[in-house]
Structure 1
Amino acid sequence: MRRLNNLFTFIMAITAFFFGSFITKILSPADQCPAHTIGRIQLEPHPNVFLVVLVLSPPRNADQRNAMRSTWLRTARQPLHQQYYPEELIFLPTYSSNGHLQVELVEQQANRLRQYKDWQKRMMTKDLPRTQRLIKVKHVFAIGTWNISSSMQADLVKEQNQHNDLIMLQRHNDTYGNLTKKLIQALDFLRHHYDFSYVIKVDDDTFVKLNSLLNDLVSYDRKLLRKRSEYGQYPLPQLYWGYFNGRATIKRKGLWKESNYFLSKNYLPYALGGGYVLSRELCEYIADSSQLLTPYVSEDVSVGTWLAPLRHVYRWHDPRFDTGYMPRKCQPYHMVLHKRSLEMMADIYDGKLCSGTGSSSLSEYFYDWKKATEKCCDSLVV
């Protein structure tokens, strides 16, 4: 009798197992089905936050932070409402036979910009269907609070209670000479508190046309995920996106004086600090290696130098980033604009192309990665 009971229990357990598996199968959401069953390549789900906007801001610049909150950062809370930027217009670097990530040639950069301007013109002149997408963006202001006055501390607490978007670095003395250390601390904070794909680092006098940047970045990211298998044994390219300079001479005096830069007569190629994008893996690399990396005075120079030896970094030089120490001539295709005042931010947000700026004599260039640094930036955008 005991054997029959054991046999009956065993049969019931097997039946329950298969019945539970069947129910689980039919109730599983469709996006968990194998890719071949739905007739397309399955994409990995995005992290909780697709893009983090990291603004380096000193404690006293509350007006600048409020100007950003009331203009372009407002779009971070709204759905992206644009036609998908065509993936066929997105450049993805490949590896050469000897394992080096191939650079984007000047001709390719020029063609990319021409195609973007054509696409942008079509969007403005034709009533084309637009897709609404919920792309989660999180913005934060990194502020050093070491050795600040009690009144300033109280103002920051009040600001944090109102907006809840401050990273208050309690062990950081917020001076220009400490900007690189501030970046490291901020990146380390982000990677421990947010699950994100990309970071755009900006100053608090930078205006970002966030919808335009997101549209490009989402198309790039989706294409990269779809092409993942084609990279085989090689590491997936990691994005370092901005406006690069490779011929800047090392500053030996003044505010930007570098006393410990002995690698070359020029700074190694770096994306100008008004705004640049880093993929999460590069942020983690910087944070994890911070005890071994030399912190130079200029934060943007430091990032370019730290990433220079890595073979899987895709340095996307983009003339649409106007991120230098003074603004270039305004162009409709510019999407990241540095050195903008509070009034300029409001004007640009209201649709004006330029506002009291844009008469700079600085020329835009494509970056020639095949030439020596002295000749890197001679291919002008016309």
Structure 2
Amino acid sequence: MHQDLTDQGYWNLSPRKYFSCFLFISVLSSARNTHERDVIRETWGKDLPKDIVLRFVVGIGNLNREEKDSVSREHMLHKDLLMLNFNESFNALTLKVKETFQWVDNNVDLKFLLKVDEDTFVRTDALMRELKQKTDKRLYWGFFDGRALAKQKGKWAEKEWILCDRYLPYALGGGYVLSSDLVHYVSSNSKLLKPFKNEDVSLGAWLGPLDINRVHDPRFDTEYKSRGCKNSYLVTHKIPSMLMREYNNNLQKLGHLCSHEFQVRKSYIYNWRNPPSKCCERVDSSVP
């Protein structure tokens, strides 16, 4: 059983919040990607219930005056942008997640946070049904990997990763859920937490020593490319705009996600009893 640490300083929640919700959805977005945001607004992000708050997180530090004015007008129209004052770049994704968690922790009274990308499709109705049945303490829920070798070359290279030759088990960044206490933990300890290049790898390392509930769920199709389409998917990544609209249309007219189900890449059930290097074998095509 988890010890209750709410009396410890680094778990205490701020008593003053600007608004409350059950689920806060953080969509990492580039300030210039208005089209991608509009597609989400027209599909899975449209007409969300009052207990869900969605914000597109954009960095505005390196925008020119015209671009800042454009973003401000967009926010005045939609009221759904979270504008952070840092320079947007691929190498700043971890900082972006840190600053998002700090803003949420300081301003929102929430139960859960869902972090996704702007090319992620979310079944908010199904996700909420699942969350209503879960404890709102120490939850780290997504599609986990524990056998990934630390990259030393290319775009994803982690030059400062010295912990071991593999990444610590982490939920892939196309979409994962955290309970509010873990958001607070990252926020309140942000100055002590070593940032790595990949935000999802960083989060796995930050939460690695903690006694928390890591839930691997194949219904999170959140790898670097989609595994296909299954009606059981809750969150699916790398979805182009046209397919987002198709998925949304299917849900409205057919009541399910896929025109037809298919799989282009096997999934896996994470075996927590094995060493991380042997956690994740793609041997069962019935796993979504």
TM-score, scaled to structure 2: 0.87
Quick one: distance in 1 between partners of 2:66 and 2:261? 35
Aligned 8 A contact 2:229 2:260 in 1: no
What corresponds to 2:20 in structure 1? 48
Quick one: distance in 1 between partners of 2:44 and 2:280? 30
Q: 2:62 aligns with which of 144, 147, 150?
A: 147
Q: 1:281 aligns with which of 152, 157, 181?
A: 181
Matches within 5 A, 1:331-350: 331-350=230-249
Matches within 5 A, 1:40-119: 48-77=20-49
What corresponds to 1:13 in structure 2? none
Per-residue CA deviations over 1:255-278 (Å, capped at 9, x if unaligned) read 111111011111000000000000
Are 2:68 and 1:169 aligned? no
Secondary structure of the structure 2 residue equivalent to 1:294: coil
Secondary structure of the structure 2 residue equivalent to 1:214: helix
Secondary structure of the structure 1 residue equivalent to 2:100: helix
Per-residue CA deviations over 1:272-291 (Å, capped at 9, x if unaligned) read 00000000010011011111
Are 2:132 and 1:218 aligned? yes
Secondary structure of the structure 2 residue equivalent to 1:254: coil
Secondary structure of the structure 1 residue equivalent to 2:191: coil
Quick one: distance in 2 between partners of 1:295 and 1:357? 38
Quick one: distance in 1 between partners of 2:20 and 2:28? 23
Quick one: distance in 2 between partners of 1:267 and 1:169? 28
Quick one: distance in 2 between partners of 1:64 and 1:162? 16
How far is 1:374 from its partner?
Answer: 2.0
How far is 1:251 from its partner?
Answer: 1.2
Query: Whose Rg is larger?
Result: 1
Quick one: distance in 2 between partners of 1:379 and 1:66? 36
Aligned 8 A contact 1:75 1:210 in 2: no
Quick one: distance in 2 between partners of 1:272 and 1:74? 25
Paired residue type of 1:203: D
Paired residue type of 2:126: S
How far is 1:306 from its partner?
Answer: 0.5
RMSD of aligned alpha carbons? 1.8
What corresponds to 1:303 in structure 2? 203
Q: Which runs of 5+ in 1 are unaligned?
A: 1-46, 78-134, 225-236
Question: CA 1:295–1:263 in structure 2 vs 1: closer, same or farther (change >3 Å)?
Answer: same
TM-score, scaled to structure 1: 0.66
How far is 1:147 from its partner?
Answer: 1.7
Aligned 8 A contact 2:28 2:58 in 1: yes
What corresponds to 1:196 in structure 2? 110
Paired residue type of 1:372: P
Secondary structure of the structure 1 residue equivalent to 2:192: coil
Task: Report how many aligned residue pairs link the two structures.
Answer: 262
Aligned 8 A contact 1:75 1:211 in 2: no
Q: Which runs of 5+ in 2 are unaligned?
A: 1-18, 252-256
More helix by share: 1
How far is 1:48 from its partner?
Answer: 2.9
What corresponds to 1:364 in structure 2? 267
Are 2:150 and 1:250 aligned? yes
Aligned 8 A contact 1:367 1:379 in 2: no
Q: 1:329 aligns with which of 225, 228, 247?
A: 228
Identical amino acids, percent of aligned pairs: 38
What corresponds to 1:29 in structure 2? none
Secondary structure of the structure 2 residue equivalent to 1:365: coil
Q: 1:378 aligns with which of 258, 281, 285?
A: 281
Quick one: distance in 2 between partners of 1:160 and 1:188? 20
Aligned 8 A contact 1:368 1:379 in 2: no
Paired residue type of 1:368: N
Quick one: distance in 2 between partners of 1:373 and 1:251? 16
Quick one: distance in 1 between partners of 2:165 and 2:27? 30
Paired residue type of 1:68: I
What corresponds to 2:9 in structure 1? none
